[in-house]
Amino acid sequence: MKHTTLPVMLPGVLLIIAGLLIMPATNGEQLAFAESDSESTLKVSDKLKKNPLAMQIIAEMEAQKLRYKQLAEESVPKVIPTREQILIEENRKISEEMLQDDLESMKKEYLDFTPKNAFAKFVEKLNSSHHGIFWDQFDYLNAKVQLAIAAKKDVLENGGTFYEAQREYFKYASMPRLEMISYIQELNVKYGFADEDLQSNFDPNGKLPRFEEDKDAPCYGCENLESVDNSNSQSSGSEITEVNANAEIDPRAEIKYLQEKLSNLRQAFLKSENINEKKYLVDSLNDTVKKIQELTY
C-alpha cells in the first residue's frame, strides 16, 4: 500500500519543497520578469540557472500565467465592425444631420404659426387698450397646458397607460366655466373695464340674481337702497326686531370668500416654477370651484 501511494504524493511534495527552495532564492537580484501581450520573458540569476528543477517550475508558472491572460482576453471578444456596418453608421450620422437641418428649417418656416405668434397676430388687430387682458388670458391658459403636458409625460415615463396619461392631461389643462367667468371678471376689474363693486353683483355664473318681486331687487350702482313701499320704511321706535337663532350663513358671503381664494390661487400658480407645487395649486383651484358650484346650484 505504501509503495502504491508514494508516486501520487510525490508531485505535491516536490512542489512544496521546490517552493520552499525557490522563495528564498528568488529575490530582486536573482529573478526578474518582463511581459508583453504575446510572450513572457524570464530573467534569472546564474545561481538559479544551475537548478534545473527550479527553472522547470518557474517556466511552468510563467506558461500558466500567460495562458490565463490569453483566456481572459478571449472571454471578451473584440467586435470588429464590417465594412457594411461602418457604411451604415456613416449614413446614420448623415441622416441625423439632415433631419436636424430639416427640423430647423421647419421651425423657421412655421414660426408664425406657433400658438404665441398666431395669437399675437390676432391681438394686433384689436384696440391696444385691450391687449393686456387678452395676453393675461393666454399666459394663464398656456401655463395650464404646459403643466398638463409635463403631467402626461410623467405618467408615460412611469409606466402608465395612454388613457391614464390623457386623463392626467385633461385634469390640469381644463378650465371649468365657473373659473373662466371668475377670471374674466377679475381681469375686467384689473384693466379698468368694470367696477369692482358693480361686478360683485353678478353671481359665479356671470348672471344677475333674479327676484320674484321688484321691491326685493337691489338698485345696482346706487349707494343707498330705497324701499319701494314707503309705508314699510316707517317703523315705531319701540319696535323690537326679532332675530332668528336658526338663521343660516349668507351663502353669498361664503361665495365671495371662495372667489377671493380662487384669485389668490391663480396668482400663486402663475408665479410658481415648481411642477409639483403647480399641480397642488390646480387641485386646490378645482376643489374651490366645486365648493362654489355647490353653493350656487
Residue 289 near residue 179, CB atoms below 8 Å: yes
In this prediction, residue 219 has a pLDDT band, given cuts at 50, 70 and 90, of low
User: Which three cell numbers mark 92?
Assistant: 446614420
More confident residue, 123 or 38: 123
User: Which three cell numbers mark 233?
Assistant: 320704511
Give the alpha-carbon dihedral of 128, 132, 135, 137, to 10 degrees.
-130
Question: Using one digit for the tens of pLDDT, what is the confidence trace for 104-134?
Answer: 888 888 887 888 888 999 999 999 999 999 9
Residue 289 near residue 178, CB atoms below 8 Å: yes
Lowest mean pLDDT among 71-80, 122-131, 229-238, 273-282: 229-238
- The residue with cell 397646458 is 145
Question: Using one digit for the tens of pLDDT, what is the confidence trace for 142-183?
Answer: 999 999 999 999 999 999 999 999 999 999 998 888 888 888
CA atoms 177, 183, 186, 190: torsion sign: negative
What's the pLDDT score for residue 243? 45
CB atoms within 10 A of CB 204: 23
What is the mean predicted confidence (pLDDT) over 203-231? 61
What's the pLDDT score for residue 14? 46
What's the pLDDT score for residue 20? 45
Task: Assign 32 to helix, strand or coil.
Answer: strand
User: Which three cell numbers mark 33?
Assistant: 520578469
CB atoms within 10 A of CB 278: 22
What's the pLDDT score for residue 105? 86
d(CA 48, CA 203): 108
Backbone angles phi, psi at 154, to 5 degrees: -65, -40
Lowest mean pLDDT among 75-79, 164-168, 218-222: 218-222
Give 63's contacts (C-beta < 8 A, 6+ positions apart): 40
d(CA 216, CA 208): 13
Domain boundaries, the chain: 10-75, 84-113, 177-216+250-296
